[in-house]
Structure 1
C-alpha cells in the first residue's frame, strides 16, 4: 500500500523468490490465492522484484536465432492486415481524410510563395518538396530548355508574378549576388533601380563578375 512499507513473512518471501519468473499478472494472482493479502497489489510485487534484483529471464528482446511468431504468415492481398478490426482503421491507398482532404490541392493548382513567386503543383508524389515548382522556371524551360548548371533565373521587370519567359534571364549565381547589391550592399540593387537603369545595373554586374573571373 502507498504510504508505508509492506512487510512479508519469511514464508511469503521464499515463495515470491521461488516463483519470481512468472508473468506479473499470474504472479500476483497466485500469491493472493496462496496468501490472502488485500494490502498487496500487482504493482507492489513488481516493485519488490525490481528492488530485490530478481531476474525473470525475460528481456523484452527477440532472442538471436529465434523465429518470430508470425514468420511465414502473409497478409491477404490488399488487406494490409488479417484481423477485421485492424482493417477498419487502415488507410486505403490514395485515400485522404480529415485535414489532408481539406488541404489537398490538385495538380496544376498555383499558389504564391512567401517570397512572392508563383508556384505550381506538378504531381502528388513524394518527397513533398518536389510537388511544387516555380512557374517562371516551368515556362522558361518549356521555351528554352534546361537552365544551365550554376545559373539562376532573374526577373527583369521586377514583377515576380510575370512568368513570361521573356521576363526572365538566366544569370550566373555570382552575378546574382552582385545584382542584390553585393556583399556589403554598397551598390544599387537591381530590384531597387528604376526601369531605365536596370539594363545598366545588369551589364555592370556581369562586367565586374567577368573581371573577377579573369583577374590573376
Structure 2
C-alpha cells in the first residue's frame, strides 16, 4: 500500500547494503529468500536503496572498452523497412529532382561556363570550368600557381586559343579597380597591356 511504513532490522539493512551492487530484482529475490519477508515488494527495495543512496554502480550506458552484445551480427531489414530503405545507386525525392547528369553545363555566379564531370565526392569537385577543360585537353594540366586569362576579355569564349596561362599574382595588374582594366580596354591595346603587366611582374620577381 502506498505510503505504508516498512520497518527493517539492522541485519536486513546490512544485508541489502552489502549487496547494493546487485540488480534490484536479484536483490529483492535474495532478500525475500533470506528473511521470508513476503510483504516486501521489488518497489520497496528500490525505494529503500534510493533513499539510502545505495547504487548498483551502473550508469545505464556502455562503459569505455565494453563490446556491444550485437557486434558483428547481421542486422537485416524486416517488415516494410525493405520497401523504404535506400538502395545503393538509387535517388529519390528532392535529390532526384535536382540531379544534373554528367556533361551538363551551367553558368556559375561569376559568369563562367562550367561542366559537370562526375558524381563523386567532394561536391565542389563535380563541376569544372569549361575553358580550363578545353585548354588542358591541348596543353596538359595547368601549372601550379597559374590561372587562365581570357585574351579577348570575353569569359564566355571557351576556345583554347583565347586563353593564356599567367601567374596568379599578375591578375591585380590587369584588373579594373587598381590595375589597367584589361577586359574593358580596346582590343588593339590588350596585347600591349598584357606585355607591360608581364614585364612589371617579372621585374618585381627578380628584385632583391
Kept in 1, the 8 Å contact 2:174–2:181? The answer is yes
Tell me which of 196, 205, 208 is aligned to 1:213: 205
The number of aligned residues is: 182
Residue aligned with 1:84, SS: coil
1:169 alignment partner, SS class: strand
- Give the TM-score taking structure 1 as reference length: 0.70
Scaled by the length of structure 2, what TM-score is found? 0.72
Decide which structure has the larger Cα Rg and report it.
2
Runs of 4+ in 1 over 6 A off after TM superposition: 51-54
CA contact (8 A) 2:117 2:128 kept: yes
Unaligned runs of 5+ in 2: 8-12, 14-19, 26-41
1:84 aligns with 2:72: no
Within 5 Å, give how 1:14-93 maps onto structure 2: 31=43, 55=55, 57-75=57-75, 81-93=76-88
In structure 1, what is the Cα distance between the partners aligned to 2:190 and 2:54?
81
Deviation at 1:98, TM superposition (A): 0.5
2:193 match:
201
Deviation string, structure 1 residues 106-155 (Cα, Å, up to 9, x no partner): 00000100000011001111111111111001000001111111110011
Q: Which runs of 5+ in 1 are unaligned?
A: 1-6, 24-29, 35-44, 76-80
Structure 1 equivalent of residue 132 of structure 2: 137
